[in-house]
Structure 1
Amino acid sequence: MSTVDAIVLAGGRASRMGGVDKPGIVVGGRSMLEAAVAAVRGCVRTVVVGPHRPDLGPEIRQVQEVPAGAGPVAAISTGLKALADCDFPADLLVVLAADMPFLNGAAIDALIARATESGADAVFAADESGRPQYLVGVWRRTALHAGIERLDAPVNQPMKALIPETALLLPLSDITDCDTPDDIARARAQAAPLSLEQARNMVRDKLSRLPNRRVTLRRAVGAVLAESLTAAEALPRFDVSAMDGYAVRGPEPWRVRHDIGFAGGERPAGLHAGEAVRIATGAHIPEGTEAVVRDEFVRTDAEGLHRLPDSPIRDDIRRRGEDWQPGDALAPTGTPVSSALLSVAAAAEVSEGLVRGPVHARIVMTGDEIRSDGPLHTGQTRDSIGPVLPDLLSWCGIRPLDRVHLRDTANGFDEVLSRAVDCELLVIVGATGGGAADQLRTALDRTGAHLPVHRLRLRPGGSTVVAETRSGTTVLGLPGNPFAAVATLLTLAPAIVEGRTGRTPRRAIIGPLHNAADISGPVPRIVPAQALPEGGWTGDPGIRTAHLAGLLDRDGLVIVPAHAENGALVEFLPLPG
């Protein structure tokens, strides 16, 4: 097969979508640019034409047409010039617009094979209606170069000006482009739900990082180190006694002096051979000390101080820098600022650090039927989930700010989303489905939000959505069902913290689920579970999801894979006490 290079067009004005970054729109868990780059992964070289994108790998060359937004022909011309600088340019060129979310490598391979066997100057895809897609094609380099050379200038030229007479069409599926918000909505509706692992990876990788800030560490509990914590001072700062006993020098018996070394007191005078001085744990040992002998390992008589027969020989001295030296790394980037870290920082004489976070969250309860306080009226139900969400968020490493209630209106979310600039996370309960009162998804689309997670392949919790607004606020849309909301929150919220702050992912708790076969089905499930004395868990095969009574007397939740058998290893999510 001939060698093949690729030009991916990732610019344009997206005028029918309000000027949003169309290649960056996420459908089915990945951006349309990611889909295009993945489709041409088999090519020798790939050039992406458009605004610079820092998340693209170094193996991909990035260039920008001049002027930006000058049309596809100008972009192709720019990409072609970039490839001309390469040694041994390929015979064939894939030209591909980054606006087809379901395009895959198999379709590109089919186009390459047709171009190779036919000898045509170009082969373009035809969509299911038979319409040519001139921005999904394979060209002979010489034909593409000749077509551009025929033009007076490539700026704002129509693609049809390039099409050679010997071009062929190849019918392909899944190549419909997305030019309007309605196209994006339809594509997202067709996209397969993400697995929990995919969703977690998406929010870790695709959510924007919070800015770094240098702070007093004791005021940053819940934040995450944005640089490693290094010691400013050695520990111990000087040689100290590790036990209560006697500092000794030379052979026994030792003559015991009358002075005593106390922790925090003055350092005793230096020892001469045959001398001992009483010393407390943590005290600075006298100069010349060869060992500290514990109280329980000595005896005294008229000759002086002796080591007891058969007592272990050890010096019981903590040497300067034994635990760490100045400049030693004590905690890596991504470590949460916890009580343990604050203690280590204090011992290392470190008061400030560079951190991200913590993540602050506003809770939004939705639904006309929900009431927090006061008597219930006809058709209303008590808010049984809102009051417990602050504790659950804190358990996940998130600081809750406040809780508000939003009624079911067509545009109620617009104001909520536009004003979400004083928090890093909006936790929205309800309105994530497709019903008449479920307005969150359409509101996110109206604001041009980025959707890393559109749906989950998980029961309950399938309607969960994770988005990021243009202002950088993360939106976690949870199902309105109380158990589904809690279960999904505990599975995804820690990953959101990791994505926003760069926190090192928590180690999963894995063990056997002894009755997995009674619970599993065609879709992964999350259910309450009890810990067993012999290890592992038993899960609840059935649970009422409209309340949280199923969590009473349970130790946590387990995520049960599809078609799991008894004893299958599952992930366990502990519940806060």
Structure 2
Amino acid sequence: MTADAIVLAGGRASRMGGVDKPAIMIGGRSMLDAALDAVRDCAEVVVVGPHRPELDARFGQVREVPPGSGPVAAIGTGLTALGSTASLVVVLAADMPFLTGDTVHELLRSATESTADAVFAIDASGRPQYLVGVWRRSALVAALTGLDSLVNQPMKAIVPAETVLVELPDIADCDTEEEVRRARESLSSDRASARLDLTEARERIGSGLSTLVAYDAALGEVSGAALAAPIVAAGPLPRFDVSAMDGYAVCGDGPWQLRRDVGFAGGARPAGLLPGEAVRIATGAHVPDGTTSVLRDEFAAVTGDELARLPDRPIRGDVRKSGEDRKIGDLVAPAGTRVTAALRSAAASVEVTTGTVRGPVRARIVMTGDEIRSTGPLQTGQTRDSIGPVLPDLLAGCGLHVTDRVHLRDTAHSFDDMLTDTADFDLLVVVGATGGGAADQLRTALARAEARVLVPRLALRPGGSTVVAELPTGPTILGLPGNPFAAIAVLLALTPAIVAARTGAPLPRKILGPLHNAAAITAPVHRITPARYAPDGGWLGDPTVRTAHLAGLIDRDGLVIVPPNATDGSTVEFIPLPS
């Protein structure tokens, strides 16, 4: 049954000092966004409250008069603003961070299966929530018109006698700062316990990260970027008729009289040929007018000034016609194509040297841990930074531009400034501080920064503590384990997906093939381990690897991702190591 929706997003929030409650961020989204997402399937949605220019145009916006005159007045204003006449009306307050589409669907199902005038949710304490409900429009209209005034009326003034109460999970509002804090902790805990396999993680990254702003640039200066708009040929390819082979431009059937002039690529075009004439010509040279074909050297017999075709040699044209490969306006590369040497060359061949692009992604590397030291003699308890110096090369191999590398001490708020001042990078690669120990501060810093977590953890060994998030200001955070092999393995597994998502390119294609000794490597979760090419194709993986250093990557061709319960010969994903 079709339903409309009224979302109440006003009120004074007196117990929270008058803050804009619907705009409070919990779990990476505002409480208003949670309510709007819950009613996304409704025919028409009206938001009652202060005007919010950031809302999608499909949502109507109105304000009760006078502002802050209570939920009944707000419902009346919203009902008047609805242009649709759906028989059911959903009413939701935008102060419940756990609302979902399932909440609304269950209420609607109960409404269609009963004859009650309204259906309301019951929270965990058994208390009815009259601002989480579905009304029959006729009953709602009758309840509102039965009041002398709608201003400052309690909800009980319009609750009909015939109602149905439905016990639903996660029906809890946030009226105090303490309730907001508990809601954030609850969502953070739930999401922190979720582990995604690499396929799920890449899909979330591909669909969840925002793309960079497009701009025009010289293609030769943006290696690693991706096209934000297609490139089409500005000139034909070839520009004119050219010889495809070293040989002789001829006119008509042979034999031919050979002239003394020669056509060179980039040189002057030979004078036009008359029937029975031929001229020496090089590959790529502009053929003279009158050319009917090019006789390649290996098919030619020259006697003095006479040229003939050798017996039993095939007759071929060997002339590349103007526009044969590309005509003006032909597509060279679609949007999303990475800017590579091949793309730059293909574009230049049709007179295109600039394009509209996104990227390249600018990355800042952050090494964490008081025990890590990059230079100078090691002190007691310190460890040499063995991965920070190699990360720029590995990231460059993934198409990123590394801007700088910094080191953060292990303090409770060491990340806060870095997560706020984000103008100089698009991706923050953090090594360490992703676990649950006393020195692992990244996750709590992301919560303070109201980051949206896409990948809370990985179902992968090693590398399970990985986190991927997006800050409200736009940059991506890739939090890697501090273990050197785990950090590099996850970096190579996820960074291409991040680059693709930020630049608007498609997710990279996987390299798949047989792993001949999979049974010796497989575990209850996906494993990632070094591998080398097998002589007959496929790979041989390392059953064990020391993860505290990168020595296991020496003389290896890449990494393999081994699924649970794999058997010898199982198809696995292979990730080549950058050279």
Taking structure 2 as the reference length, what is the TM-score of the superposition? 0.88
8 Å Cα contact 2:123-2:129 kept in structure 1: yes
Which residue of 329, 350, 353 maps to 2:352?
A: 350
Alpha-carbon distance in 2 for matches of 1:509, 1:460: 21
Q: Look up the match of 2:129.
A: 133
Which residue of 7, 20, 43 maps to 1:9?
A: 7
Alpha-carbon distance in 2 for matches of 1:146, 1:225: 57
Q: Look up the match of 2:184.
A: 184
Q: Look up the match of 1:324.
A: 326
Q: Aligned pair count?
A: 565
Q: Look up the match of 1:124.
A: 120
Identity fraction in percent: 59
Secondary structure at 1:144's aligned position in 2?
Answer: helix
Structure 1 residue 5 displacement after superposition: 1.5
Alpha-carbon distance in 2 for matches of 1:366, 1:155: 56
Q: Look up the match of 1:421.
A: 423
- State which drifts further: 120-129 or 63-72: 63-72
CA shift in 2, pair 1:234/1:425, >3 Å: same
Alpha-carbon distance in 2 for matches of 1:12, 1:534: 68
CA shift in 2, pair 1:216/1:472, >3 Å: same
8 Å Cα contact 1:49-1:78 kept in structure 2: no
8 Å Cα contact 1:20-1:448 kept in structure 2: no
Alpha-carbon distance in 2 for matches of 1:528, 1:13: 58
Q: Look up the match of 2:83.
A: 85
Alpha-carbon distance in 1 for matches of 2:286, 2:165: 86
CA shift in 2, pair 1:152/1:271, >3 Å: farther
CA shift in 2, pair 1:303/1:547, >3 Å: closer
CA shift in 2, pair 1:292/1:346, >3 Å: same
Secondary structure at 1:505's aligned position in 2?
Answer: coil
8 Å Cα contact 2:8-2:91 kept in structure 1: no
Opposite residue 531 of structure 2, the aligned amino acid is A
1:479 pairs with 2:475? no
Which residue of 453, 456, 472 maps to 1:454?
A: 456
- State which drifts further: 93-102 or 299-308: 93-102
8 Å Cα contact 2:9-2:32 kept in structure 1: no
Deviations along 1:70-123, one digit per CA (max 9) or x if unpaired, are 6765665565456x533xx44333334566666555554443343344422222
CA shift in 2, pair 1:147/1:263, >3 Å: same
Alpha-carbon distance in 2 for matches of 1:14, 1:289: 86
Which residue of 520, 523, 537 maps to 1:521?
A: 523
Q: Look up the match of 1:557.
A: 559
CA shift in 2, pair 1:564/1:356, >3 Å: same
Alpha-carbon distance in 1 for matches of 2:342, 2:320: 21
Opposite residue 187 of structure 2, the aligned amino acid is A
Deviations along 1:518-539, one digit per CA (max 9) or x if unpaired, are 4333333322222222222233
CA shift in 2, pair 1:460/1:47, >3 Å: farther
Alpha-carbon distance in 1 for matches of 2:563, 2:31: 29
Aligned residue runs from structure 1 range 60-209, under 5 A: 61-66=58-63, 76-77=75-76, 80-81=79-80, 84-86=82-84, 89-97=85-93, 107-149=103-145, 159-160=155-156, 162-177=158-173, 180-191=180-191, 192-209=194-211
In angstroms, what is the RMSD of aligned CA positions? 3.2
Q: Look up the match of 2:298.
A: 296
Secondary structure at 1:456's aligned position in 2?
Answer: coil
8 Å Cα contact 1:529-1:538 kept in structure 2: yes
Deviations along 1:284-312, one digit per CA (max 9) or x if unpaired, are 11111101101111113478221111111
Aligned residue runs from structure 1 range 365-384, under 5 A: 365-384=367-386
Secondary structure at 1:390's aligned position in 2?
Answer: helix
8 Å Cα contact 1:52-1:62 kept in structure 2: no
Alpha-carbon distance in 1 for matches of 2:172, 2:139: 26
Q: Look up the match of 1:408.
A: 410
Alpha-carbon distance in 2 for matches of 1:417, 1:288: 69
Structure 1 residue 19 displacement after superposition: 5.2
Alpha-carbon distance in 2 for matches of 1:114, 1:501: 45
Alpha-carbon distance in 1 for matches of 2:444, 2:320: 64
Q: Look up the match of 1:573.
A: 575
Q: Look up the match of 1:225.
A: 227
Q: Look up the match of 1:434.
A: 436
Alpha-carbon distance in 1 for matches of 2:354, 2:11: 45
Alpha-carbon distance in 2 for matches of 1:523, 1:76: 51
Structure 1 residue 566 displacement after superposition: 3.6
CA shift in 2, pair 1:107/1:514, >3 Å: farther
Structure 1 residue 249 displacement after superposition: 1.0
Alpha-carbon distance in 2 for matches of 1:462, 1:350: 45
Structure 1 residue 502 displacement after superposition: 0.6
Structure 1 residue 337 displacement after superposition: 1.4
CA shift in 2, pair 1:144/1:382, >3 Å: farther
- State which drifts further: 560-569 or 102-111: 102-111
